[in-house]
Structure 1
Amino acid sequence: MLAYERTGSGEPLLLIHGIAHRRQAWAPVVERLAGEFEVITVDLPGHGESPAFELAGRTVREAVTHELNALREELGIERPHVVGNSLGGLLALEMADAGHARSVTALSPAGFWVNDLDYLYVRGLFAGIQAVARPLAPVAGTVLRSKVARTVAMGCFFAHPDRIDPATAAADTANMVASREGIKTFFTSAYRYPGATRRDVPTTVAWASRDLTLLPYQAIVAERRLPHATHRWLAGCGHVPMNDDPDLVAGVIRETAGAQQARQD
């Protein structure tokens, strides 16, 4: 079973992080949403405190879908609001297509690269980050106290890495190293998002204006494949926007979930 935490009360809200991250990535927005939702944060397979990612003869897509469905069943939640960042955004969109989401907020979602060069860029970026993370991890608690060091080490993910708590930055670095097999497994079967099969689920695709991981021009592809969705920009944010502007991100999530409630009314 995937590792998770439940906080707050209200309609269920499932938050899914991106590749190489962990459920604590959502901490800045959880505290802003827990008064309105039952917030569930989860570690993807092979990440954080979740077990190793075992495919058992399945594709990556089949295996991660099975794990998320098993989590919903364990929690007794049929259709949560779903929010995802990067890989988590792609998974959130697919949960909606399968009828397992009340609403979807996808933050800089994966699956919209323009061509193979885009994909090779991302693979190369993560390979470089992991190469730096391994020797850095043992001394990260000391080195990452420096704002300059955090900017150099984490600037590809955050627009304002200097704002990250040093202890959090060190823990994220350790997670990057510990998750290397899970990261490798996810990259073995990356795929483009084919386009929505359902149009009755309120969906917002929000692209970070300073994204250096999944480059912002991929928003054009997202608009073409999801014409029914609301498309917007997260000004001044990097690829992982929750730390850069948690108030803005929490507001986008509320708006999307509120659109679902308005349809019911």
Structure 2
Amino acid sequence: MSATTVSFKVPSPQGPQPVTVSYTRAGSGQPLLLLHGIGHHRQAWDPVVDILAAERDVIAVDLPGFGASPGLPDGLAYDLRTTTAVFGALCETLGLDRPHVAGNSLGGLLALDLAKEQLVRSVTALSPAGFWTPAERRYAFGVLVTMRRIAERMPLPLVERLARTAAGRAALTSTIYARPSRRAPEAVVAETLALARATGFAETLRAGTSVQFTDDIPGIPVTVAWGTRDFLLMPRQGVRAKRIIPKARLVRLPGCGHCPMNDDPALVARVILDGSR
């Protein structure tokens, strides 16, 4: 699926700043915005896009500084407030009137923040960031930094050779997938490169050190779903999310890892569609 880019202005202390975002769009129906996690790219959603597009107008976005989206200009920080403003402006530019939104990891946190600002009509957050203890956050950030360093230093021919075998794909992606052998070799190569080349990685991670999601989200349907084999953000964080957002639907994703879209596409698509009905 070929990507499209769109540019728009986002307020900053130095005045409106131009932001460009890359996205793909498929299907018809009510709009559904898909937001990936840190170091990933919009192709993380590929396993579920076709299923979702049968019922929704699906817009999968590369976050600024990730995938094919260029980084933010000087004057815009990679913090939650700015990124939420970016996606609010994106929705306005694309004519998306309070879309449904689903996000994974960092994207799940962004989805919840968009809901908190009443910019969306429903939210499905898959292993969202922001419900950690300080120790859990330090552990997750340490794993992410290690993954990034390995991706940066690994020669492309080695990545391609590893991706051709199930064992190699496990070595490259078992941190985020419970069933890495299901990921296509070319997808594993592409996301390893996306992690290595993400210009927004360091600043996004730095901004995340002070993030804690503590607000209820009244009046908007919220689904929080967690893979039972998520070893990056532990499933117990879902219980905390439920305490903070008491009316949220908390869903277990059996046998799924941190990025469950690849591990069980049919289940994840059903959870998103149910949450956006």
**TM-score category of the 2 structures, normalised to the smaller one:** over 0.9
- Residues 1:169 and 2:193 aligned together: no
Structure 2 counterpart of 1:125, which letter? V
| 1:131/1:230 CA distance change after superposition, 3 Å | same
Matched, 1:243 2:252: no
Q: Which runs of 5+ in 1 are unaligned?
A: 259-265
Q: How far off its partner does 1:54 sit? A: 3.5
Matched residue type, 1:151: A
Counterpart in 2 of 1:133? 151
Match of 1:185 in 2: 203
SS in 2 for 1:112: coil
Secondary structure of 2:207 counterpart: coil
Q: Is the 8 A contact 2:124 2:272 kept in 1?
A: yes
Question: What whole-Å deviation, never above 9, does each CA across 1:135-188 have from its counterpart, x for those lacking one?
Answer: 325121222111101111110100000111000000000000100x31111111
> Partners in 1 of 2:42 and 2:269 — Cα distance?
16
The code of the aligned residue for 2:126 comes to L
- What residue is the counterpart of 1:41 in the other structure? 60
CA contact (8 A) 1:137 1:174 kept: no
Secondary structure at the aligned position of 1:3 is classed as: strand
Q: 1:121 aligns with which of 119, 135, 139?
A: 139
Superposed CA RMSD? 1.2
Report the AA paired with residue 111 of structure 1: G
Partner in structure 2 of residue 194 of structure 1: 214
TM-score, with structure 1 as normaliser: 0.93
Q: Please give the alpha-carbon distance, in whole angstroms, between the structure 2 residues aligned to 1:160 and 1:109.
A: 20
What is the CA-CA distance between 1:59 and the residue it aligns to?
6.1
Structure 2 residues not aligned, in runs of 5+: 1-19
> Which TM-score applies when normalising by structure 2?
0.89
Q: Which has the higher helix share?
A: 1
Percent identity over the alignment? 42
Contact 2:78–2:200 (8 Å) recurs in 1: no
How far has the Cα of 1:78 moved from its partner?
1.9
* Partner Cα separation in structure 2 for residue 53 and residue 160 of structure 1: 34
Alpha-carbon shift at residue 218 of structure 1 (Å): 1.0
Question: Which of 165, 174, 177 is matched with 1:155 structurally?
Answer: 174
Matched pairs, number: 255
Shift of 1:35: 1.4
Question: Aligned match of 2:234 in 215, 220, 240?
Answer: 215
User: What secondary structure, in the 3-state scheme, does the structure 1 residue paired with 2:200 have?
Assistant: helix
